[in-house]
Amino acid sequence: MSNNSKPVTNRRAFVQKLVGGVAATTVASSAVALSSAETPPEGKKAKLKSYAMLIDTRRCIGCHTCSVSCKSEFDVPLGVTRSWVEYTEKGTYPNVSRHFLPRLCNQCRHPQCVDVCPTGATYKRPQDGIVVVDSGQCIGCKYCIQACPYDARFLNPETKVAEKCDFCIHRVSKGLVPSCVNSCIGEARIFGDISDPNSEISRLLTTNPTTVLRPGKGTEPQVYYIGADHSDEHENNRGWYDVRITTHRKEKGRR
């Protein structure tokens, strides 16, 4: 009988071979399970998502943690920003009030920025509805910046390409929430898939009155607000109270 076919008589050797076989089987089973989890069953397509954000301004304290975390996450140059917070001060002394309005790209269902992009650098992802910018295709023409009704885009002064919030795709693709949502100390931001009726954002949207920015533009924004004050400075013409908007941006006017 050859050495290769000799039966194992040593107890320690027998246990080592047994453990090794179990481990190999476990690894193989795990690999199969992981592959099955990542790949949809044959004949079935992966379920499409529709990501959105809900901002409860009743919980926002205007701390700018969201803005700072966004700049840190993407190393955004000074003077431009992907996310910011506006202060709305309204009334006539002593009857005055202050409200906070966080702003970012609205990830529109019908984005005007996509329609005007001459190279296709700006497009809407079919798998989750997020509007993104392909920096390799962008020529810095600024058409998308002018077309955006929400002033959410800017030309990066260093790369010379258009940029904006993209819901932190690199985080979302790993099952994480956007950086601004993760850092909000008041938990004012809720992010999720509104195509899933059981998601937290879907439940809140169905149980709370919400508003969006500039609904008359027909873009169908996917950033919703609870308790937002949409007052604008043009309301000063009414004469009976004053409105002042502070944007903390290079472009001080609100669009």
Q: What is the mean pLDDT of residues 179-186?
A: 97
CA distance 209 to 206: 8
Least confident of 5-19, 96-110, 179-193, 203-217: 5-19
Same domain, 148 and 118: yes
In-domain check, residue 255: no
Count Cβ atoms within 10 A of the Cβ of residue 178 and give its class: 0-12 exposed, 13-18 middle, 19 or more buried.
buried
Per the CB < 8 A criterion, the answer to whether 144 and 123 are in contact is no
What is the domain range of residue 58? 51-246
Query: What's this model's pTM, rounded to 2 decimal places?
Result: 0.78
Same domain, 117 and 200: yes
Same domain, 116 and 33: no
In-domain check, residue 251: no
In-domain check, residue 207: yes
> Mean pLDDT of all residues in the chain?
84
Which helix (H) or strand (E) segment is 38 a member of? Answer: helix 11-38
Identify the bridge partners of residue 95 per DSSP, sorted by sequence position. 92
pLDDT for the residue numbered 9: 44
In-domain check, residue 210: yes
CATH number at residue 113: 3.30.70.20
CA distance 138 to 149: 20
- Domain count across the chain: 2
In-domain check, residue 254: no
Instruction: Categorize the per-residue pLDDT at 220 as very low, low, confident or very high, splitting at 50, 70 and 90.
Output: very high
pLDDT for the residue numbered 112: 97
Among residues of the chain, what percentage have pLDDT more than 90? 67
HSE at residue 122, side-chain half, CA atoms within 13 A, is 29
35-74 confidence digits (pLDDT tens): 333 445 555 566 899 999 999 999 999 999 999 999 999 9
63-112 confidence digits (pLDDT tens): 999 999 999 999 999 999 999 999 999 888 888 899 999 999 999 999 99
Same domain, 83 and 23: no
Q: What is the mean pLDDT of residues 200-225?
A: 97
Per the CB < 8 A criterion, the answer to whether 230 and 236 are in contact is no
Instruction: Categorize the per-residue pLDDT at 120 as very low, low, confident or very high, splitting at 50, 70 and 90.
Output: very high
